[in-house]
Amino acid sequence: MSLLAIDGLTKRFGEVDVLREVTLDIREGEFLVLVGPSGCGKSTLLRIVAGLEQPTAGRMLFNGGDIVNQTPRERNFSLIFQNYALFPHMTVRNNILFGMKIRGEPASGFPQRLAKVADLLQLQPLLDRKPSQLSGGQRQRVAMARAIIREPALFLMDEPLSNLDARLRGEVRDGIMALHEKLKISTVYVTHDQIEAMTMADRIAVLHQGRLQQIGTPESLYRRPANLFVAGFIGTPAMNILKLPWGDGKAWLAGRPIDGPAGYAARDYGETEVYFGIRPEHLAEDRQNGFLHGRVVRRELHGAEYLIALNTPAGVIQYRRENRGAIPAPGQEISLSFSPLDCYLFSVVNQHTLLGEQ
C-alpha cells in the first residue's frame, strides 16, 4: 500500500531544473533508498518531502491527502541530517527531548518516552554527556533517538553514514537496519553509495541529472537495468560497457555475432552501433573456446578474488577470478568467454535497454 505518492515533482533554481517530473511512491513499512551521484537532486527531493523546500510543480499525497502546502510540523516527518545537527551545549538527554519541548508536548510523558528510546538505542549511560564527549557512532544514535522519540509518520535520512569511517559505517548501517526491522516505520534514505543502497534497501530509486532513472528491488536493478546509466552505476565492480557494430539483427564482438535472446529482442533496432554490457563476474578464462582476447594491463587483489583488467580490440574490460592457481600477470595474453544470456544491449541513441525480460 502506498503511503506517500510523489507525482510529477519538479524543482527549479533559477534556470536550472534540479528535479524533473519525478514520480514515485513510498510504501507502508518499506525502506526506500534514493541513490545517485552528487548533484543528481536526491537531497533536494528529500528536503521537499520534509517541507524544507517548495516544489516548482507537482503533487505529494500522504495517506491520500495533498501535503505540498503543509509545514514541516504538520507533516510529522523526522529528518536525520548528514552532520547530526546536535546542539553542542546540550546534554544527550536535552538534545533528544528538544523537539518535543519546542512543540509544547506535555512534560509528563518525557521520562517514559526517553527511557524507551534510550533503551532501544543503548544510550542510557550517555544521557548526561555532551556531543563533544561522544564518538561518531554515538552521535549518530543520538540523532536517531531524537527522530524516533517524536513517533514520526515517516523517517527521512540524508547521507547519515557519510561522516563515519569504514568500520563505524558498517556498524551504524547494521544498527539502522535492525531499528527499521523493529519499528517498521517507512523510511526514505539518501546516499551516493550504491553499495549502501544495495545492502539496505527494500527498493532503490536511481536519480541522475534530476530525473528518476529506475525504481525497483536491488536485484531487479542489478539484473534488469533500464538504461546505460543504471547498468554502469549499480554493481561493484561496474559493468563493462563497449560500443560494438550492429548488423543482421545482432551485435558483433571480435568478428563474431552475439546470438541468443539478446539479439532477437533487439532485431529491429535501426542503428549501426550498439552499447554492449557484460558484468565482470560473467566473464571466464577459456583457453579453448574463448574468443575475446586481450592483454592483462592491471590486476587487483580483493581477498578471495582478483579483479583483472584486459586491453582488448574492443576496449578495456574487467573480469573477476578466484584467488587460486596461477594468476595472470600484466602483459600476459588471456582469452575469455561468456554466455549470451548474460549480455546487455543499449541504444546508442537514447541509451535505453534493448532487451526484454531476461
pLDDT digits (tens, 9 = 90+) for 138-159: 888 898 899 889 889 999 999 9
Residue 12 to residue 179: CA distance in whole angstroms: 35
CA 165 to centroid of chain Cα atoms: 19
| CATH domain 237-347 topology | OB fold (Dihydrolipoamide Acetyltransferase, E2P) (2.40.50)
Backbone dihedral region of 150: left (phi > 0), alpha (psi from -120 to 50 degrees) or beta? alpha
- Residue entry with cell 556531543: 131
CA-based angle 300:301:305, to the nearest 5? 115
Pick from 275, 214, 204: nearest CA to 239 = 275
What nine digits make up the cell of 148?
524516533
| Strand-strand pairing, 154-158 and 77-80 | parallel
- pTM equals 0.90
How many angstroms separate the CA atoms of 343 and 285, rounded? 17
Please tell me the distance from the alpha carbon of residue 236 to that of residue 238, in angstroms, as a whole number: 5
Give me the pLDDT at residue 266, please.
55
Indicate the domain borders of the chain: 2-228, 237-347
Q: What is the mean pLDDT of each run of 10 residues along the chain (358 residues)?
A: 93 95 97 96 96 96 95 91 86 91 83 90 92 89 89 92 81 88 94 94 98 98 96 95 88 80 59 92 93 95 96 94 94 94 91 74
CB 244 within 8 A of CB 273: yes
pLDDT at position 156 is 96
Question: Considering just the CA atoms, what is the radius of gyration of the chain in Å?
Answer: 24
Sign (positive or negative) of CA dihedral 337, 342, 347, 351? negative
Maximum Cα interatomic distance, the chain, rounded to a whole number of Å:
78
State in words which class domain 2-228 has: alpha beta
Beta bridge partners of 249: none
Residues 6+ positions from 13 with CB-CB distance below 8 Å:
none
pLDDT for position 161:
84
Pairing mode, strands 305-312 and 292-302: antiparallel
* Cis peptide bond prior to 237, omega within 30° of 0: yes
Smallest Cα–Cα separation from 311: which of 327, 330, 325?
Answer: 330
CB 239 within 8 A of CB 276: no
